[in-house]
Amino acid sequence: MKLTIFNGSPRGKGSNTKILMDHFCKGFNAAAEVNAVENNLKVNVAYLVHTDKMEELLELFEEADKVILAFPLYTDCVPGIVKYFIEQLEPLCGRENNPDMGFVVQSGFPEAVHSRAVEKFLEKLTRRLGCKYLGTVIKGGVEGIQVQPPRMTRELFDSFYRLGVHFGKTGAFDETIIRELAKWERLPGWRLVLYKFAAFTGIANFYWNSQLKKNNAYAESFAKPEYR
């Protein structure tokens, strides 16, 4: 089985998507070490941010047995580079031997409901391409993982590792792990109370403000169009 993972984050190798899929690949490769003789498992990782290499990216898609398209949720849909990549796949619609396709959608929102619309879009995409749909892994609350201590990310990274092991063994996602990762469809009442408190004290905006300052955009954080 030849698996190709397409990372659709505009951050490329500095992305949260890469961090998650690195742990997935570790699990996949662990399964490959055990089953290499039987299944000839191999994984390639490609970054859609390299739009100037679209021919190479399309070749990787065509040659794969299975494809995972992983990306961050952007305004309840996909980043522009993912949309562009999808559009380039149009000539392959209905082609024989198109790879099976699965998806990983991560976001800063803690609730899975934010990603359900794009999940339906992705399932429809596979039908149009003539690919077998392997499912969509949805994980919220990801944005802060690069600054969180190991004790806060250990469970998340282990889940993606186990997801990779299962994929290496079966060529499919583990539905139980998918449900674990989605966790809350909508936040329970007690979590909403905590978020209101965090918003009131300014804790909720600490990370976002640090990012604005890092990119010299904090002074413009409340900018809005002028109406005349």
Question: What are 101-149's pLDDT values in tens digits?
Answer: 999 999 998 899 999 999 999 999 999 999 999 999 999 999 889 988 9
Statement to judge: residues 106 and 214 lie in one domain: no
Statement to judge: residues 102 and 215 lie in one domain: no
CATH code assigned at 179: 3.40.50.360
Task: Please say whether the beta carbons of 137 and 181 come within 8 A.
Answer: yes
Statement to judge: residues 150 and 197 lie in one domain: no
Report which of 12, 175, 143 is spatially closest to residue 73, judged by C-alpha positions.
143
Q: What is the pTM of this model?
A: 0.86
Statement to judge: residues 102 and 11 lie in one domain: yes
Whole-angstrom distance, CA of residue 79 vs CA of residue 99: 22
How far is CA 202 from its chain centroid?
A: 28
Could you give the number of structural domains in the chain?
Answer: 2
Statement to judge: residues 139 and 216 lie in one domain: no
Statement to judge: residues 112 and 200 lie in one domain: no
Per-residue tokens: 215: 């990119």
How far is CA 21 from its chain centroid?
A: 8
For residue 86, pLDDT beyond 70:
yes
E strand intervals along 48-131: 66-72, 100-106
Statement to judge: residues 192 and 179 lie in one domain: no
The pLDDT of residue 191: 64
For the stretch 178-204, pLDDT in tens is 999 998 898 777 666 776 777 778 777
Per-residue tokens: 95: 């082609």
- The share of the chain scoring above pLDDT 70, in percent, equals 96
Instruction: Tokens 């679209």: give the residue.
Output: 54
The pLDDT of residue 36: 53
Statement to judge: residues 171 and 213 lie in one domain: no
Statement to judge: residues 152 and 228 lie in one domain: no
Statement to judge: residues 113 and 222 lie in one domain: no
Q: Provide the domain limits for residue 218.
A: 187-228
Statement to judge: residues 133 and 31 lie in one domain: yes
Q: Which of 16-20, 124-128, 208-212 bottoms out in mean pLDDT, i.e. has the lowest?
A: 208-212
The DSSP output letter for 77 is B
User: HSE on the CB side for 71, CA within 13 Å?
Assistant: 28
